[in-house]
Amino acid sequence: MPYHSVVLVKQVPDTANITGKAMKEDGTVNRAALPAIFNPEDLNALEMALQVKGEHGGEVTVLTMGPPRAADVLRDALYRGADRVILLTDRRTAGSDTLATSYALACAVERIARDYGDFDLVFCGRQAIDGDTAQVGPQVAEKLGVPQITYAEAIQDLRDGSLVAQRALPLGTETVRCMLPCLLTVVNSANRPRPPSVRRMMAYKLAATPLEYGELLKRWPEFETEEALDGYLAERGQQITVWSATDVGAELDRVGLSGSPTKVLKVDFVTLAADGTREIDASQEGLAAMVKELARDYIL
Amino acid sequence: MGNTREIWVFVEQEEGEIAPVSLELLAKARDLAGELEGRVCALLLGQGIADLAPKTIYYGADKVFLAEDAQLAVYRTLPYAEVVISLVTEHQPYILLFGATPIGRDLAPRIASAVRAGLTADCTDLRIGGYERRGEKYEDLLYQIRPAFGGNLVATIVNPEMHPQMATVREGVMKMGKPDRERQGQVERVEASFNGRHSSLEVLKREIRLPSVDLKGASVIVAGGMGIGSREGFDLIRELAHVLGGEVAGSRAAVDAGFISAEHQVGQTGVTVRPRLYIACGISGAVQHRAGMDQSSKIIAINTDPHAPIFEIAHYKIVGDYRKVIPEMIAAYRGDRTPGESA
């Protein structure tokens, strides 16, 4: 039986590989200088969805919310095997915290169900490396009214409207049976994401959102208008669908800053410093004195 | 809204054992309650766990909401969420705290979404303070403090309006209080009722691996990094840990290099520890590592590079080779005037 999977992905700054280039003079990180990447565990989520399709048939729809340039991760998803990709982008969603984000995403998943057929499975990465909150998955599940399987590592069985999945927890594993539809948040030990396929890169080399047409027209002067380009891409299945908050039926006071209960009071750069570092001479006497002092202070 | 000034702690228990982080949170909630002149309530869910209620009182709860039901015997998201959501809706607590454990991080967002409250993940500190925005002044808000952006920033988050103010809190960063067996509190039994959706998921099997190392509980930790150079080099680390009655830890680099296994890893992607004494040997001190150990009471850093970043947070800076320094420390600790042979 074929399954319709929806995969939620995010484009994130590469916080894990901060190089000298992204460091400012004062030792803090320049966020703007970090490359934007496909959130690593979202690739594991996509891979799990593609494996379900491989075994059982069906479709994989990939959804992201972000600025126009987040279309990059959608193209990447197409190259890896997604059937359909959608960009939810809207200035009014800027500044959304996890509650507002999950609301907007859930609205978009519901529109996917209306336009392209009900979903059986929703996959997301366990967490995104820029926030590490792991909250959006469960929050989307709640908004969709479906059960959630967090820390999913494997789908062991999928039949008759339910699945058996293994959860990887720090202290062991848990095996659960869950009715469909459900949402899984996938950990990085689940699989090795397949690389983009060269054949698909060729097939989708023109894939673009209407927001990118302006740039494309500069590169392809043979198209005189956006309409002409749009017609050409539409004919070839190279249009990436773009939805606004209104397109997915989101109430505007529930997205963006107004829909976000959490506010950032302040941000401090990490410059960890001890309250007085003392250099100890690495000699027998120096070390013995230190050990004695620690013993006196009940540290040892 | 929020006038009750109740600080609720979700007390996580598995098989009749309360998670240490829940006891840490009760102590923290006690501090916050002192500042807010509020009271601390524990949420205790499970089956056959009524005897744990007094313990939550000893550790700081004024009141315990106790829900016992066969559906709650093993943690599952939906039945647990249903009970907590209905309690929160009825009582409107001011603050609601969870441990940032797999259970807390599974449950808290589900609840926050349902009651439309703000939730901050993985806090490392909680305080009380004011906030001003667009001319509106707010007093006595919960400052939810957490590392962000791969540990390179520390953000302070507030939820000025949509309460409860919810947070998950990292294990091991709050100090557990001493149990006070004289403390009195009230236990209120809660009738759990379920809407039927709870049966959509069943737990078939659980395989719990007991951790062979207890870094969180250790009061002394001796950790090695890339500078240890080899798997054998860790023998000296182990020896020092053994002599001092501590545990052995490693940086991510040491784990990735195969010097030591992953359950020993301290740092952003490993365990967060706050021992009385942390001895960092051959660890350069990447931000990700420091985030996991910078709360240690005393830090000794041993490194051959005098400019290693670890020294910035060390109380004792020792520039030298661990192969020479550690035997000297062992000898000094044993009161032995003639240090053993250096490895």
Q: pLDDT by residue (tens digit) across B46-79?
A: 999 999 999 999 999 999 999 999 999 999 999 9
Task: State in Å, rounded, how far the first CA of chain B is from the last one.
Answer: 65
How far is it, in rounded angstroms, from Cα B284 to Cα B286?
6
B121 and B24 in a common domain: yes
pLDDT for the residue numbered B339? 44
CB distance from A32 to chain B under 8 Å? Answer: no
Residues 77-106 of A with CB under 8 A from B: 97-99, 102
In a domain, B213, yes or no: no
Sheet of B201-208, strand order: A241-243, A84-88, A58-65, A3-9, A121-125, A182-186, A148-159, A162-169, A172-179, B201-208
Any chain B CB within 8 A of the CB of A198?
Answer: no
Whether A296 is covered by a domain: the verdict is no
Q: Are residues B55 and B188 in the same domain?
A: yes
Q: Is residue B338 predicted with pLDDT exceeding 60?
A: no
Radius of gyration of chain B from its Cα atoms, rounded to whole angstroms: 23
Task: Please state, as a whole number, how many other Cβ atoms lie within 10 Å of the Cβ of residue A32.
Answer: 7
Kindly determine whether residue A142 and residue B155, on different chains, have CB atoms separated by under 8 Å: no
CATH code at B291?
3.40.50.1220
| Packing angle of the helix pair A40-56, A71-80 (nearest 10 deg) | 40
Packing angle of the helix pair B322-334, B234-244 (nearest 10 deg): 20
State the pLDDT at residue A24: 62
**Partner residues linked to A279 by β-bridges:** B317
Q: How many CB atoms lie within 10 A of CB A14?
A: 18
B88 reaches A (C-beta below 8 A): no
**Is there a single domain that holds both residue B114 and residue B177?**
yes
**Cβ atoms < 10 Å from Cβ of A137:** 32
- With the C-alpha atoms ordered A61, A110, A188, A272, is the resulting torsion angle positive or negative? positive
- B205: in domain: no
Please indicate, yes or no, if residue A76 is contained in any of the structural domains: yes
User: Is A23:A170 a contact under the CB 8 Å cutoff?
Assistant: no
Computed over every residue of chain B, the mean pLDDT equals 90
- For residue B173, what pLDDT band results from cuts at 50, 70 and 90? confident
Question: Which residue among B167, B200, B233 closes a domain?
Answer: B200
Tell me if B171 sits within 8 A of B216, measured CB to CB. Answer: yes
In this complex, the residue of A177, A261, A294 whose CB is nearest that of residue B202 is A177
Q: Which domain holds residue B96?
A: 6-200
Which residue type is seen at A63?
L
Cβ contact B272:B171 at 8 Å: yes
Confidence band of A273 (pLDDT split at 50, 70, 90): very low
Q: Same domain for B34 and B82?
A: yes
Q: Tell me: the pLDDT tens digits for B229-256?
A: 999 999 999 999 988 878 999 999 999 8
Which tops the pLDDT comparison, B245 or A212?
Answer: A212
Partner residue facing A261 (CB), from B110, B117, B299: B117
Angle separating helix axes B102-115 and A136-144, nearest 10 degrees: 50
B241 and B188 share one domain: no
Please tell me if residue B167 touches chain A, with a CB cutoff of 8 Å: no
| Tally of CA atoms within 13 A in the half-sphere of A111 that contains its CB | 21
Q: Is A237 left (phi over 0), alpha (psi -120 to 50) or beta?
A: left
Partner residue opposite B201 with nearest CB, options A147, A169, A262:
A147
Residue A55 makes CB contacts below 8 A (sequence gap 6+) with A158
Q: Which of these three, B165, B200, B235, is where a domain ends?
A: B200
Tokens, residue A41:
């565990």
Q: Please report the pLDDT score of residue B212 as a whole number.
A: 63
Residue A267 lies in a domain: no
Using CA atoms, how far apart are residues B265 and B302, in angstroms rounded to an integer?
Answer: 18
B308-325: average pLDDT? 94
What is the C-alpha separation between B288 and B175, in angstroms, rounded? 22
Same domain, B194 and B281: no
Tell if the CB–CB gap between B300 and A290 is shorter than 8 Å.
Answer: yes
- Gap between the terminal Cα atoms of chain A: 64
Contact (CB, 8 A) for B194 and B170 = no
For residue A220, pLDDT beyond 50: yes
Report the number of distinct structural domains present in chain B.
Answer: 2
Nearest to A147 by CA among A131, A165, A129: A165
Q: Which residues of A touch B74 (CB under 8 A)?
A: none
Neighboring chain A residues of B160 at a CB cutoff of 8 Å: 261, 263
Domain-embedded: residue B129? yes
Q: Is B10 on the interface with A (CB under 8 A)?
A: no
**Among residues B168, B200, B232, which one ends one of the domains?**
B200
What's A239's DSSP letter?
B
- Does B26 share its domain with B164? yes
Question: Does the interface predicted TM-score (ipTM) exceed 0.90?
Answer: no
Residues B87 and B19 placed together within one structural domain of the fold: yes
Judge if B185 and B313 occupy the same domain: no
Domain count within chain A: 1
Residue A27 has pLDDT above 60, yes or no: no
- Selection from A9, A119, A5 nearest residue A56 by Cα: A5
Q: Residue A95's domain is classified under what CATH number?
A: 3.40.50.620
Q: Count CA atoms within 13 Å of residue A45 on its CB side.
A: 32
Which one-letter amino acid corresponds to residue B205? K
CATH number assigned to the domain comprising residue B138: 3.40.50.620
Q: Does B320 touch chain A (CB under 8 A)?
A: yes
Q: What is the pTM of this model?
A: 0.79
- What the block records as the tokens of B49 is 């766990």
Instruction: Specify the pLDDT at position B1.
Output: 42
Residue A43 lies in a domain: yes
Q: What is the mean pLDDT of residues B29-58?
A: 97
Residue A235, domain member (yes or no) = yes
Residue A220 identity: W
Please, which residues 209-238 of chain A have a Cβ atom closer than 8 Å to chain B?
Answer: none
Rg (CA), chain A: 24
Residue A22, pLDDT score: 64
Spatial separation of the C-alpha atoms in residues A177 and A179, rounded to whole Å: 7
Provide the residue range defining the domain that includes A215.
3-259
